[in-house]
Amino acid sequence: MATSEAPLVPGSDIDDEEIELEPTVLAHHDDPTGPYPGAGVALVQGSLASLSGEIHDLRRSRLGAAALFLALAFGLLVVWSLFATSAVGWQATVTLGLRFALSAVVAGLLFSRVELSHGQVQITEYVLFGGCTLLLALNQYVVNLDLMRHDNIPALIAFMKNGVLGIVVLMVLYGMLVPNDPKHVAVVVLTMGLVHLIALTLVVEHPDVAEELEMLRMTEHAGSNVLSLMIGAALATYGAYVLHGLRTELHEARKFGQYQLRERIGAGGMGEVYLAEHQLLKRPCALKVIRPGIGTDPLVLARFEREVQSAARLAHPNTIAIYDYGRTDDGTFYYVMEYLQGRSLADLVRERGPIPAGRAIFLLRQICAGLAEAHALGLVHRDLKPANIFIAVQGGVCDVAKVLDFGLVKPTREPEAVALTAEHTVSGTPHYMAPEQAAGDPALDGRADIYALGAVAYYALTGRAPFQGDTAFAIMVAHARDPVVPPSQIRPDVPADLEQVVLRCLAKAKNDRFPNVKELAKALAACASVVEWDEEKAEAWWVELVRAAPATAPDLTTAPPSTTRAAESKSV
The residues assigned a catalytic role are 383
Cα→Cα distances 235→39, 84, 125, 169, 203, Å:
44, 32, 20, 11, 27
CA-based nearest residue to 363, from 398, 317, 401: 401
- The three-point CA angle 541-544-548 to 5° equals 140
258: phi > 0 → left, psi -120 to 50 → alpha, else beta; which? alpha
Cβ atoms of residues 363 and 344 within 8 Å = no
Cα→Cα distances 189→20, 55, 237, Å:
57, 19, 8
343 three-class SS: strand
Contacts of residue 158, defined as CB under 8 A and 6 or more positions apart, other chains included, come to: none
Cβ atoms of residues 323 and 337 within 8 Å = yes
For residues 160, 165, 170, 172, the Cα torsion angle rounded to the nearest 10 degrees is 150
Angle between helical axes of 446-462 and 357-376 (0-180°, round to 10):
160
Sheet holding 389-394, edge to edge: 342-344, 389-394, 397-403
User: b vs e for 236-263, b when ≥16 Cβ sit within 10 Å of the residue's Cβ?
Assistant: bbebbbebbeeeeeebeebebbebbbbe
Say how far apart CA 148 and CA 225 lie, in whole Å: 17
CA-based nearest residue to 259, from 274, 277, 273, 271: 277
Say how far apart CA 27 and CA 296 lie, in whole Å: 27
Q: What is the CA radius of gyration of the chain?
A: 33
Say how far apart CA 197 and CA 553 lie, in whole Å: 57
Cβ atoms of residues 449 and 375 within 8 Å = yes
Sign of CA dihedral 49, 51, 56, 61: positive
Contacts of residue 373, defined as CB under 8 A and 6 or more positions apart, other chains included, come to: 314, 315, 316, 319
Sign of CA dihedral 398, 399, 402, 404: positive
